Structure 1
């Protein structure tokens, strides 16, 4: 379900370790209090524990929250750990993460925006 999740307009990743014993209310409070974001929007919030072999996703679906959980049987997620609490993901970065890749791919082509003329 998480690998092909397409319902959200945006996706955010919690870069710090998260205690995955937290449920819906605990994760929603992290989104509101630590990230200063609104969990009641069409946004997927992703959380990862210390072992990096399992993740939780929190998503608001018009009448209630959906809590998604995935545990890998082999390997770990290439979860970014940084001083930033939360980070926005592009759809491509989300796909990379779900495939076990780092969200920053230095050899990937960058999207070109704002060209004014062709020479």
Structure 2
């Protein structure tokens, strides 16, 4: 079964490198023990290895975990490496990331909150 990303409430990426040999339990442990987050919330957690051509996604679905694994045959993912943190991202940032683009697109039109027009 594939995850319907539009129904996922939270999307998180684990910045930096993750040991891609980790299984579901190992990745869930990283989220719970290292970052003190609830892996059972309606969240999708993404991990990337050192070569940046592979990523894993971990998602809890009511009766068990789903783990997705993808290896790119050409190209690399523009994965943030600057900090060891979990970063919450938007659906659009996820699409950019998985299309090989940087999540921070400086030319993208930013959303504006009402009342802040100049």
- Both proteins in one fold, TM over 0.5: yes
Residue segments in structure 1 that go unaligned for 5+ positions in a row:
none
TM-score normalised per structure 2 = 0.91
CA displacement at 1:16 relative to structure 2: 1.6
Range moving further from structure 2, 7-16 or 47-56: 7-16
Q: In the comparison of the two structures, how many residue pairs are matched?
A: 117
8 Å CA contact 2:5, 2:91 repeated in 1: no
CA displacement at 1:10 relative to structure 2: 0.6
Distance, in Å, in 1 between the alignment partners of 2:89 and 2:30 is 18
Query: SS where residue 28 of structure 2 aligns?
Result: helix
Deviating above 4 A after TM superposition, structure 1's stretches of 4 or more consecutive aligned residues are none
Q: Which residue of 2 aligns with 1:99?
A: 99
Query: SS where residue 36 of structure 2 aligns?
Result: coil
8 Å CA contact 2:45, 2:59 repeated in 1: yes
Q: Which residue of 1 aligns with 2:50?
A: 50
Q: Which residue of 2 aligns with 1:12?
A: 12
Measured against aligned partners, the alpha-carbon deviations of 1:18-54 in whole angstroms (never above 9, x if no partner) come to 0010000000000001111100011000000000001
Residue segments in structure 2 that go unaligned for 5+ positions in a row:
none
Measured against aligned partners, the alpha-carbon deviations of 1:33-78 in whole angstroms (never above 9, x if no partner) come to 1111100011000000000001000000001000000110100000
TM-score normalised per structure 1 = 0.91
CA displacement at 1:6 relative to structure 2: 3.0
Are 1:34 and 2:17 matched, yes or no?
A: no
Q: Which residue of 1 aligns with 2:68?
A: 68
Measured against aligned partners, the alpha-carbon deviations of 1:79-111 in whole angstroms (never above 9, x if no partner) come to 011224110001111111111100000111100
Q: Which residue of 2 aligns with 1:109?
A: 109
